[in-house]
Amino acid sequence: MSALELKKMRKEAKKYLDQADERVVKMVYAMLEKDPSNENTSYHLTTEQEAILEERIEKYEKGAMNFST
Protein backbone atom coordinates (compact mmCIF):
# COMPACT_ATOMS: atom_id res chain seq x y z
CA MET A 1 0.00 0.00 0.00
CA SER A 2 1.40 3.37 -0.95
CA ALA A 3 1.71 6.20 1.54
CA LEU A 4 -0.92 8.13 -0.40
CA GLU A 5 -3.39 5.24 -0.18
CA LEU A 6 -2.72 4.92 3.55
CA LYS A 7 -3.28 8.64 4.05
CA LYS A 8 -6.61 8.41 2.20
CA MET A 9 -7.64 5.37 4.25
CA ARG A 10 -6.85 7.17 7.51
CA LYS A 11 -8.93 10.15 6.42
CA GLU A 12 -11.90 7.91 5.57
CA ALA A 13 -11.56 5.99 8.84
CA LYS A 14 -11.64 9.24 10.78
CA LYS A 15 -14.89 10.19 9.04
CA TYR A 16 -16.46 6.85 9.96
CA LEU A 17 -15.30 7.14 13.53
CA ASP A 18 -16.66 10.68 13.87
CA GLN A 19 -20.11 9.37 12.93
CA ALA A 20 -19.98 6.08 14.83
CA ASP A 21 -22.02 5.30 17.90
CA GLU A 22 -20.46 4.88 21.34
CA ARG A 23 -20.19 1.07 21.08
CA VAL A 24 -18.16 1.22 17.86
CA VAL A 25 -15.88 3.97 19.18
CA LYS A 26 -15.17 1.89 22.30
CA MET A 27 -14.37 -1.20 20.22
CA VAL A 28 -12.00 0.67 17.92
CA TYR A 29 -10.33 2.37 20.86
CA ALA A 30 -9.84 -0.97 22.61
CA MET A 31 -8.25 -2.48 19.50
CA LEU A 32 -5.87 0.46 19.07
CA GLU A 33 -5.01 0.57 22.74
CA LYS A 34 -3.99 -3.11 22.76
CA ASP A 35 -2.01 -2.92 19.49
CA PRO A 36 1.69 -3.15 20.46
CA SER A 37 2.72 -1.25 17.32
CA ASN A 38 1.09 1.88 18.78
CA GLU A 39 3.49 2.04 21.71
CA ASN A 40 6.18 4.11 19.96
CA THR A 41 4.11 6.73 18.18
CA SER A 42 5.30 9.80 20.05
CA TYR A 43 7.17 11.22 17.05
CA HIS A 44 5.83 13.39 14.27
CA LEU A 45 7.23 14.27 10.87
CA THR A 46 7.40 17.83 9.64
CA THR A 47 5.66 18.73 6.39
CA GLU A 48 9.05 18.80 4.67
CA GLN A 49 9.96 15.35 6.04
CA GLU A 50 6.61 13.94 4.88
CA ALA A 51 7.21 15.32 1.37
CA ILE A 52 10.68 13.75 1.23
CA LEU A 53 9.30 10.44 2.45
CA GLU A 54 6.48 10.49 -0.13
CA GLU A 55 8.99 11.20 -2.90
CA ARG A 56 11.22 8.33 -1.82
CA ILE A 57 8.28 5.92 -1.54
CA GLU A 58 7.19 6.82 -5.07
CA LYS A 59 10.72 6.23 -6.39
CA TYR A 60 10.87 2.89 -4.58
CA GLU A 61 7.50 1.76 -5.96
CA LYS A 62 8.61 2.70 -9.50
CA GLY A 63 11.85 0.75 -9.06
CA ALA A 64 13.90 3.93 -9.51
CA MET A 65 16.03 3.46 -6.39
CA ASN A 66 19.35 1.63 -6.18
CA PHE A 67 20.28 -0.42 -3.13
CA SER A 68 23.49 -2.08 -2.07
CA THR A 69 24.67 -4.23 0.80
Predicted pLDDT of residue 66: 81
8-63, pLDDT tens digit by residue?
Answer: 999 999 998 999 989 998 888 888 877 766 565 556 778 898 888 888 888 888 98
Predicted pLDDT of residue 45: 77
- Is the confidence at residue 69, as pLDDT, over 70? yes
Are 65 and 59 in contact by the 8 Å Cβ rule? The answer is yes
Predicted pLDDT of residue 33: 79
Residues 6+ apart with CB under 8 A from 25: 17
Residues 6+ apart with CB under 8 A from 68: none
The one-character DSSP state at 18 is H
